[in-house]
């Protein structure tokens, strides 16, 4: 049995392995905290660790999953000694059929009784165990490899949980159940109960898995979640895109504040004699406070040229969203979308929000002549012919594309002509640098005409780029 | 295993804070407890209006310690936060002294004495006789340099004034920093603090908060108020109503003495809940369904 300090060190190393930064000072704090904190409940123990070890709300999900996996395993090992009589031995739980369980669950959810739900989660887990012939063993091939996700899936299927919850939600919205609450509150409470049971069942399954396989098996094969600003644009799942969308406004706000702060500090203007004299009156004519004029930052005119073909669509959407939420940093923003031909889409962004505008880009924009594969060269050539006369020495051109030209003519010379007219040309590529110039990527050929070509795989890199260049 | 410790202190804090009109959950109470035990500042982050500032105020009431507040803003510097020499008074002193002909040495000693020192919140928190609650509000609004300076003060609780020498805190203040995340605070500052993220509460806790903070509100009315507010929060708004706005509105509804929340009432008092013009228009378009939420 490990000492609590050793446990903690081990846990911290698990946190680090999951990508969280924990300093030595923080682990010492956590140690101190555990010496004084009440450890009676698992919840309080977790709060004490979280307050001392995790210093950013965005890291909470990662911490929670590491914590669950690590300490649930420990808990299971500790309790394995005595209790747990119901394990597979055909106790009272086994008498319950899945249908009965579903009915009991329906009542418990409608009543919102958390204790009942916890009990039901235990019963359901036992039932799953019987159905599968035990956790992590049994007759099924590959059963020894199945993770908690598999059992969770089987359990949800057995209880018909998806259908059950949507039925209940519908009834609550119609006011057929939970009549003592206004419908909004009823719905909210019901959603909480539904989630509560799901989490309780998952914990229970993990605990049983840990019991049968030993504590380390719980975390096997599962990667801790990635922070939303570090999700890669190129292979984000739908759910991850939602996560990113959720944090984008906050990110944009922070970015705008950082840029504004940078502009206001440091570069003071010339001495303001009038103001200095006026303020010196209160100190008898001695100019104690010297006043300066404010300097007005130069705002560039931005031309964004986005590849909106399938593979880079997510990336382009997020970049456009970020740029438009920072529009006051620019004198003007003009946007152009291309697949194999280019079309100005600035107007679309004027009257609707970015999501809607992007939809309309696809619907109304004239972007495709050929087969729908992107042709960066042709788009650049058309852009140069149609719009480059409007570029001035104050314009910045920002190109968003992976530079994969499907083996077509690169026409880097067109980009060269654009670059000569504009003040700056930047290229953001959502692919990792290692993959540049492999396959049909010809980003290298464009690089010589750009002031910078930048890898931009996630929101974090995107924000960094905007901050440095805005 | 070490000896088993009970959750009693946590429950005590919860009860005490509740008596000071602040409802704590496990994480808030644990943070307060650890801050007291480990003598570390709390860094509270979360959306605007969830009660970060109130946390410090309530803790000062609960622990009966005086509250010293330092409001941060862009351009806040040491002179405004720590101490400043009262230049104008010093100038007057010099001018008044010209005729008397005291020596420069005497004069200098006199000029840089406590009489001409203007203590600002941070210094006040340190030189006081008893322990205080120091609230450093909206630390994200201050500049990065100030943050570095704050870090120095918070780690040693001592301040050196060149003319007077080093001043050591007689008692550690209980420090709460709040941030709305308009920018990321430095890792160093985060490392030095206990971290507490306060989010919007679940409906049961918010109902409880309304009951505590709007005394005498009818149970039924509180529930209806909450239903309307939580319905508005589900709309896609720029700025959703926070707890403080909920409380304002609940108070207004109570003061108006109405026991039904109907369309007229909502329309007339909506500006207490929703502060953006665009949002207001959006909510006004949905008054009917809003009022339906308040019925049962």
Query: Does residue A433 belong to the interface with chain B, where contact is any CB pair within 8 Å?
Result: no
Confidence at residue A244, expressed as pLDDT on a 0 to 100 scale:
83
Chain B residue with the nearest C-alpha to that of A286? B91
Query: Which residues, listed in sequence order, are joined to residue A303 by a DSSP beta bridge?
Result: A334, A397
> How far is B124 from chain A, CA to nearest CA, in Å?
25
The alpha carbon of residue A203 and the mean position of all alpha carbons in its chain are separated, in whole angstroms, by 24
Query: Does residue A287 belong to the interface with chain B, where contact is any CB pair within 8 Å?
Result: no
* A445 contacts: CB under 8 Å, gap ≥ 6: A410, A412
According to DSSP, residue A322 is labeled H
Q: Would the CB atoms of B194 and A23 count as touching at under 8 Å? A: no
Of A61-75, A78-92, A104-118, B58-72, the least confident: A78-92
Separation of alpha carbons B144 and B106, rounded Å: 39
* Number of other CB atoms surrounding residue A264 within 10 Å: 15
Average pLDDT, chain B: 86
Q: Would the CB atoms of A253 and B182 count as touching at under 8 Å? A: yes
Q: Pairing between strand B42-45 and B67-71?
A: unpaired
Interface subset of A 403-422, CB within 8 angstroms of B: none
pLDDT in tens, A370-398: 777 788 888 888 899 888 888 888 888 88
Q: Which residues of A touch B8 (CB under 8 A)?
A: 38
Which residue did the predictor score with more confidence, A20 or A141? A20
Give the SS3 label for residue A440.
coil
Q: What is the mean predicted confidence (pLDDT) over B253-262?
A: 83
Q: Would the CB atoms of A23 and B191 count as touching at under 8 Å? A: yes
Confidence at residue B20, expressed as pLDDT on a 0 to 100 scale:
92
Chain B residue with the nearest C-alpha to that of A56? B195
Confidence at residue B29, expressed as pLDDT on a 0 to 100 scale:
93
Q: Would the CB atoms of A37 and B34 count as touching at under 8 Å? A: yes
The DSSP secondary structure of chain B, one letter per residue, reads -PPP--SHHHHHHHHHHHHTT----HHHHHHHHHHHHHT--EEEE-STTSSHHHHHHHHHHHHT--EEEEE--TT--HHHHTEEE-HHHHHHHHHHHTTT---HHHHHHHHTSGGGEEE-HHHHHHHSSS--EEEEETGGGS-HHHHHHHHHHHHH-EEEETTTEEEE-SS--EEEEEE--SSPPPHHHHHHSEEEE--PPPHHHHHHHHHHHSTT--HHHHHHHHHHHHHHHHS--SS---HHHHHHHHHHHHHTT-SS--HHHHHHHGGGT--SHHHHHHHHTTHHHHHHHH--
Give the SS3 label for residue A398.
strand
Tell which residue, A317, A309, A312, A313, has the closest CA to residue A245.
A317
From the list A39, A47, A284, which residue is nearest B91 (CB)? A284
* A24 contacts: CB under 8 Å, gap ≥ 6: none
Give the SS3 label for residue A344.
strand
Going from the C-alpha of B205 to that of each of A108, B146, B208, B216, the distances in angstroms are 21, 36, 5, 17
Tell which residue, A385, A305, A386, has the closest CA to residue A339.
A305
Please give the structure tokens belonging to residue B21: 């009109």
A119: phi > 0 → left, psi -120 to 50 → alpha, else beta; which? alpha
Tell which residue, A346, A351, A376, A374, has the closest CA to residue A361.
A346
Interface test with B, best of A29, A41, A51 (most B CBs within 10 A): A51
Chain A, chain B: beta-carbon pairs less than 8 Å apart: 121
Q: Phi, psi (5° rounding) for residue B119?
A: -75, 135
Q: Would the CB atoms of B195 and A288 count as touching at under 8 Å? A: no
Of A70-74, A238-242, B141-145, the least confident: A70-74
Q: Phi, psi (5° rounding) for residue A336?
A: -130, 135
Interface test with A, best of B29, B95, B146, B191 (most A CBs within 10 A): B191
Going from the C-alpha of A192 to that of each of A153, A165, A198, A243, the distances in angstroms are 20, 11, 10, 20
Please give the structure tokens belonging to residue A367: 């972007």
Going from the C-alpha of A118 to that of each of A96, A98, A195, the distances in angstroms are 16, 16, 12
Confidence at residue A24, expressed as pLDDT on a 0 to 100 scale:
92
Q: Would the CB atoms of A184 and B295 count as touching at under 8 Å? A: no
According to DSSP, residue A234 is labeled T
Q: Would the CB atoms of B191 and A25 count as touching at under 8 Å? A: yes
Q: Would the CB atoms of A181 and B223 count as touching at under 8 Å? A: yes
pLDDT in tens, B76-115: 888 888 888 888 888 888 887 776 777 778 887 788 888 8
Q: What is the mean predicted confidence (pLDDT) over B128-136?
A: 90
Q: What is the mean predicted confidence (pLDDT) over A442-469?
A: 86
Query: Which residues, listed in sequence order, are joined to residue B119 by a DSSP beta bridge?
Result: B83
Chain A residue with the nearest C-alpha to that of B74? A261
pLDDT tier, B28 (very low <50, low <70, confident <90, very high otherwise) = very high
Q: Would the CB atoms of B2 and A179 count as touching at under 8 Å? A: no
Q: What is the mean predicted confidence (pLDDT) over B246-258?
A: 89
Interface test with B, best of A185, A192, A291, A292 (most B CBs within 10 A): A185
Q: Are B91 and B50 in contact (CB under 8 A)?
A: no
Give the SS3 label for residue A187.
helix
Confidence at residue A199, expressed as pLDDT on a 0 to 100 scale:
86
Separation of alpha carbons B259 and B224, rounded Å: 10
Tell which residue, B294, B285, B283, B291, has the closest CA to residue B236.
B283
pLDDT in tens, A114-144: 888 888 888 888 888 877 777 765 555 555 5
> How far is A254 from chain B, CA to nearest CA, in Å?
5
Q: Is a pLDDT exceeding 80 seen at residue B195?
A: yes
Confidence at residue A118, expressed as pLDDT on a 0 to 100 scale:
84
Q: What is the mean predicted confidence (pLDDT) over B174-202?
A: 89
Please give the structure tokens belonging to residue A157: 């299927």
Going from the C-alpha of A221 to that of each of A153, B56, B146, B214, the distances in angstroms are 16, 44, 45, 51
According to DSSP, residue A225 is labeled P
pLDDT in tens, A304-346: 888 888 778 888 888 888 887 777 777 888 888 888 888 888 8
Give the SS3 label for residue A363.
helix
Going from the C-alpha of B107 to that of each of A435, B1, B101, B161, the distances in angstroms are 73, 65, 10, 18
Q: What is the mean predicted confidence (pLDDT) over B168-172?
A: 84
Of A73-82, A156-165, A215-224, the least confident: A215-224
pLDDT in tens, A234-278: 878 877 888 888 788 778 877 777 777 777 665 567 888 888 888
Query: Does residue A60 belong to the interface with chain B, where contact is any CB pair within 8 Å?
Result: yes
Q: Are B226 and B210 in contact (CB under 8 A)?
A: yes
* Tally of residues, chain A: 470
Confidence at residue A84, expressed as pLDDT on a 0 to 100 scale:
45
* Number of other CB atoms surrounding residue A371 within 10 Å: 9
Confidence at residue A19, expressed as pLDDT on a 0 to 100 scale:
81
Which residue did the predictor score with more confidence, A76 or B73? B73
Confidence at residue A89, expressed as pLDDT on a 0 to 100 scale:
41
Give the SS3 label for residue A333.
strand
Query: Tokens 């303001």 — which residue?
Result: A272
Q: Report the share of chain A in percent with pLDDT over 90.
A: 4
Q: Is a pLDDT exceeding 80 seen at residue A218?
A: no
Q: Would the CB atoms of A182 and B294 count as touching at under 8 Å? A: yes
Average pLDDT, chain A: 80
From the list A33, A56, A288, which residue is nearest B190 (CB)? A56
């Amino acid at each position: 049995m490990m000492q609590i300090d050793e446990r903690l060190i081990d846990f911290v190393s698990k946190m680090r392995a999951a990508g969280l930064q924990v300093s030595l000072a923080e682990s010492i704090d956590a140690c101190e905290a555990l010496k004084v904190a009440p450890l009676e409940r698992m919840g309080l123990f977790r709060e004490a660790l979280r307050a001392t070890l995790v210093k950013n709300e965005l890291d909470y999900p990662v911490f929670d999953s590491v914590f669950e996996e690590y300490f649930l395993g420990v808990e299971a090992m500790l309790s394995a000694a005595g209790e747990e009589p119901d394990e597979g031995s055909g106790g009272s739980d086994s008498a319950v059929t899945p249908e009965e369980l579903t009915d009991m669950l329906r009542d418990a959810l409608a009543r919102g009784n958390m204790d009942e739900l916890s009990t039901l989660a235990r019963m359901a887990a036992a039932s799953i165990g019987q159905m599968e012939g035990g956790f992590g063993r049994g007759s099924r091939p590959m059963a020894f490899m199945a993770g908690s996700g598999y059992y969770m899936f089987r359990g949800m299927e057995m209880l018909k949980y998806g259908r059950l919850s949507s039925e209940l939600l519908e009834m609550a919205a119609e006011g057929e159940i939970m009549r003592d609450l206004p419908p909004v509150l009823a719905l909210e409470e019901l959603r909480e109960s539904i989630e509560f049971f799901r989490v309780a069942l998952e914990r229970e399954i993990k605990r049983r898995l840990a019991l049968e396989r030993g504590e380390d098996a719980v975390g096997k094969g599962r990667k801790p979640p990635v922070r939303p600003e570090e999700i890669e644009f190129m292979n984000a799942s739908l759910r991850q895109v939602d996560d990113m969308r959720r944090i984008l406004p906050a990110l944009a706000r922070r970015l705008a504040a950082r840029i504004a702060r940078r502009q206001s500090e440091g570069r003071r203007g010339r001495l303001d004699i009038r103001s200095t004299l006026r303020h010196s009156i209160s100190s008898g004519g001695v100019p104690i406070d010297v006043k300066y004029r404010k300097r007005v930052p130069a705002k560039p005119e931005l031309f964004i040229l986005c590849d909106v073909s399938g593979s880079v669509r997510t990336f382009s959407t997020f970049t456009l969203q970020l740029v438009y939420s920072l529009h006051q940093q620019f004198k003007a923003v003009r946007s152009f979308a291309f697949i194999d031909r280019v079309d100005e889409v600035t107007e679309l962004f004027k009257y609707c929000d970015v999501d809607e505008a992007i939809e309309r880009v696809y619907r109304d924009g004239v972007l495709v002549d050929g087969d729908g594969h992107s042709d960066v060269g042709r788009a650049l050539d058309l852009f140069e012919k149609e719009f480059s006369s409007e570029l001035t020495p104050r314009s910045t051109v920002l190109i968003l594309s992976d530079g994969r030209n499907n083996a077509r003519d690169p026409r880097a010379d067109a980009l060269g002509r654009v670059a000569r007219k504009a003040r700056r040309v930047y290229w953001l590529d959502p692919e990792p640098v290692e993959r540049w110039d492999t396959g049909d990527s010809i980003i290298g050929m464009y690089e010589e005409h750009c002031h910078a070509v930048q890898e931009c795989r996630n929101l974090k890199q995107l924000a960094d780029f905007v901050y440095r260049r805005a | 295993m070490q000896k088993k410790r009970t959750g009693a202190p946590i429950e005590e804090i919860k009860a005490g804070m509740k008596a000071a009109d602040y409802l704590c959950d496990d994480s808030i109470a644990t943070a307060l407890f650890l801050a007291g035990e480990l003598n570390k500042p709390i860094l509270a982050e979360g959306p605007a209006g969830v009660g970060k500032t109130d946390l410090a105020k309530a803790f000062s009431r609960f622990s009966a310690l005086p509250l010293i507040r330092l409001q941060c803003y862009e351009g806040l510097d040491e002179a405004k936060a720590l101490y400043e020499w009262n230049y104008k008074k010093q100038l007057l002193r010099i001018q008044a002294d010209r005729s008397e002909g005291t020596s420069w040495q005497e004069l200098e000693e006199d000029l840089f004495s406590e009489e001409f020192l203007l203590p600002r919140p941070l210094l006040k928190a340190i030189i006081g006789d008893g322990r205080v609650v120091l609230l450093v509000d909206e630390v994200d609004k201050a500049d990065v340099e100030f943050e570095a300076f704050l870090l120095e003060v918070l780690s040693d609780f001592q301040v050196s004034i060149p003319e007077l020498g080093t001043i050591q805190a007689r008692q550690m203040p209980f420090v709460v920093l709040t941030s709305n995340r308009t920018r990321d605070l430095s890792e160093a500052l985060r490392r030095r603090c206990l971290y507490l993220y306060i989010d919007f509460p679940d409906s049961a806790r918010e109902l409880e908060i309304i009951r505590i903070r709007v005394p005498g509100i009818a149970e039924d009315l509180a529930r209806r108020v909450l239903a309307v507010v939580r319905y508005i929060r589900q709309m896609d708004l720029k700025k959703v109503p926070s707890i403080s706005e909920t409380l304002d509105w609940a108070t207004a509804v109570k003061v108006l003495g109405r026991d039904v929340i109907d369309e007229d009432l909502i329309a007339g008092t909506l500006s207490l809940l929703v502060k953006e013009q665009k949002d207001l228009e959006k909510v006004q378009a949905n008054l009917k369904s809003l009022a339906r939420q308040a019925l049962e």
